[in-house]
Amino acid sequence: MLTEVADGVLVHRSELLRNNIVVVRGPSGALVVDPGVTNGELRCLARDLRERGERVVAGFATHPDWDHALWHADLGDAPRYGTVRCAALLRQLRSEPDWRATFARGLPPEIADETPVDLFGLVTALPSGAAEVPWDGPRVRVVEHPAHAPGHAALLVEPARVLVAGDMLSDVFVPMLDDAREGSDPVADHLTGLQRLAEVVPEVDVVVPGHGSVGDARELRARLAADLAYVRALRDGRPTDDPRVLRPEPGWEWVADLHEGQLRTRTPGPGRG
């Protein structure tokens, strides 16, 4: 079901990981951001759009994670965009002979047979340094940063003052650092990403995270502060007092395991450090 969160901006919730699919209305159709994650949910999204008289004229993937670069035939064949790095990683993955098996290994087992594969990752790169999504609609600014995944971008729907945050600023997930990328400093990258988002906070009334609850401007500031505190505690080797770890919502207790994994990555073991 589509829910309007600001003038011309709607959200469709996917249940398993609370993915938020964002729809931005334009004069000739809709921009769809990060649609997912099962065939049934994507068909529902397409049906909801048809019933509202909306056709899809553009898509956008905030980053190359499996649940943010999906698509479904029922949404049509509109151009789909991502940053240069996002598009390059997806293109590289799809060029591998066994890419479907690689894709399947990353899926939660509960939905492994329900997630559409064929149109995954077919993303066109924006021009390098592009300032906005190229579509016939309200200005949607691209805020690229190095946190969480290569080529990650948040989108600022300027007229509606909505920040589509991708996998940042969640009320259920702690910051997820990009520990898989060699030759990078995931903590520094994440802090840089949060700083980039902080720069647009004065322009935002509504934040839509990739996972979790939609928040207002006050909630946005609280989440930004919480994420900064969490990442700095990891950096400094201090215990976290983050409620997403210590007092998670029922069913989200596994976020504590995610935290423990990130903590172990930064804790020297025998013979290390």
Domain annotation covers residue 270: no
- Coil, helix or strand at residue 198: helix
The percentage of residues in the chain with a pLDDT greater than 90, rounded to a whole number, is 93
pLDDT of residue 129: 83
Arithmetic mean of pLDDT, 235-240:
95
CATH code of the domain containing 151: 3.60.15.10
Domain count, the chain: 1
- Host domain of residue 40: 2-265
Mean pLDDT across 198-226: 98
Q: Is pLDDT of 270 > 60?
A: no
What are phi and psi for residue 265, nearest 5 degrees?
Answer: -60, -30
CB 200 within 8 A of CB 143: yes
The overall pTM is greater than 0.85: yes
Please indicate, yes or no, if residue 36 is contained in any of the structural domains: yes
- What pLDDT score does 271 carry? 39
Residue 171 domain flag:
yes
Q: Is residue 273 part of a domain?
A: no
Distance CA 99, CA 64 (A): 14
> How large is the C-alpha radius of gyration of the chain?
18
Q: Whole-angstrom Cα distance, residue 91 to residue 121?
A: 7
Please return the burial class of 136, using the count of CB atoms within 10 Å of its CB with bins 0-12, 13-18 and 19+: exposed
Residue 259 resides in a domain = yes
pLDDT > 70 in the chain, percent? 98
User: How distant is the alpha carbon of residue 229 from its chain centre?
Assistant: 20
Residue 272 lies in a domain: no
Strands 30-33 and 20-25: antiparallel
The whole-number average pLDDT for the span 58-85 is 98
Q: Is the distance from CB of 152 to CB of 62 less than 8 angstroms?
A: yes
Cβ count within 10 A of residue 6: 17
Which pLDDT does position 268 carry in this prediction? 62
Residue 136 has pLDDT above 80, yes or no: yes
Q: How confident is the model at residue 81 (pLDDT cuts 50, 70, 90)?
A: very high
Does residue 271 lie in a domain region?
no
Residue 14 pLDDT > 60, yes or no?
Answer: yes
CA 52 to chain centre: 25
C-alpha–C-alpha distance, residues 27 and 6, integer Å? 16
Residue 25 maps to a domain: yes
For residue 26, the Cα-to-chain-centroid distance in whole angstroms is: 22
Strand 152-157 relative to strand 56-60, pairing:
unpaired
pLDDT for the residue 267: 72
Helix (H), strand (E) counts: the chain? 7, 12
